[in-house]
Copies of this chain bind each other. A is one copy, B any other.
């Protein structure tokens, strides 16, 4: 039995309920910009050594919460755990991005794919349970996965890419195979996120990091349709509590209306989107999360504070019967850079809380 939640601001904002201020958390908030993270990672030996060890994963998940008054924790893990559990062999070379030992580029490789046994991902669910216990009700815990399309990008390319040549070649040349991969991914991701919810995740986020590289038309058919398939299968409640879902498509600003209809409670936005215009366009039918350029955090604290206020002001004042409703969760528009000075994050969090409170009492 987990401790009762002391700060539910994030969850309330996800559901567009009244809050006293705008909650804030940062994508990749437990990460390399923190010296304490680098210390733990050194002890763990490797990224996967860190992510697959319950104690380490718990330790690093809580590190940013010790430094900053963040309004949510996010499971320390990787977006690619699911294809790893499918047997593709995930690894992280020093200073490089993720790599898969096997690439999925032909009919035979696709035929071998299946929704993995969730026992292979037990380390993730164990971490979720351990983190919930360690959080002791301070703030909610967010679980997550890569989207079906984003997983497919890595599975076909075998790692990161700057042109997505292999995955797009498969998509344009053999759409039938691509749909098969995506259907399996979608069902695997849904099963995985539901197991995270069972283990204690209080919200879940789908990272469609590479949806924005697709052409108009292809995005809807190959990315969004399968994110929708995930979202439609998710548990909406656990222990009587609503479990909000967040869908973040980097570079998805041109498709906001369609993304907002995919079934998520919250839409994540990158910094190219005008937050106020997005809110108006979507008529407050979903909550919005974002969208500061992470590079703002390299500027001096006063400039960071000004940019944070600009984001809050762009979303605009809270509305609704209590004058406190808004449905904005402050975040970056992408993961925080490893080169970020940690003290700059303090200025950001402080300004978001301070200014958003001031917006409510005006």
Contact = CB atoms under 8 A, between A and B. Distances in A.
A173 B272 contact: no
Given A165-B298, A251-B272, A293 B173 contact: no
Contacts of A307: 172
Nearest to A304: B172
Given A163-B295, A168-B298, A303 B173 contact: yes
A5 interface: no
A295 B216 contact: no
Contact of A164 (B212, B219, B295): B295
A361 to B, nearest CB: 26
Contacts of A300: 173
Given A163-B337, A254-B253, A273 B173 contact: no
Contacts of A359: none
A319 interface: no
Contacts of A274: 216-217, 254
Given A251-B272, A254-B272, A298-B165, A218 B173 contact: no
Contacts of A339: 165
B169 A298 contact: yes
Interface in A247-287: 251, 253-254, 271-275
A214 interface: yes
A337 B163 CA distance: 9
B273 A168 contact: no
A134 interface: no
A168 B310 CA distance: 17
A172 B297 CA distance: 9
A212 B165 CA distance: 21
A26 to B, nearest CB: 16
A296 interface: yes
A272 B215 contact: yes
A298 B251 contact: no
A303 B219 CA distance: 17
A298 B156 CA distance: 15
Name, among A163, A216, A310, the residue most crowded by chain B CB atoms within 10 Å (CB to CB).
Answer: A216
A299 interface: yes
B254 A299 contact: no
Contact of A172 (B212, B215, B296): B296
A218 B165 CA distance: 30
Interface in A138-172: 163-165, 168-169, 172
Given A254-B272, A272-B254, A215 B169 contact: no
B172 A295 contact: yes
Q: Which 9 pairs of residues, A with B, have the shortest CB-CB distance?
A: A168-B295, A172-B299, A215-B271, A169-B298, A216-B274, A173-B299, A215-B293, A253-B254, A172-B296
13 contacts: A164-B295, A168-B298, A169-B299, A172-B303, A215-B291, A215-B293, A216-B274, A216-B275, A217-B274, A218-B293, A219-B272, A253-B254, A254-B272
Interface of A: 163-165, 168-169, 172-173, 212, 214-219, 251, 253-254, 271-275, 291-293, 295-296, 298-300, 303, 307, 310, 333, 337, 339
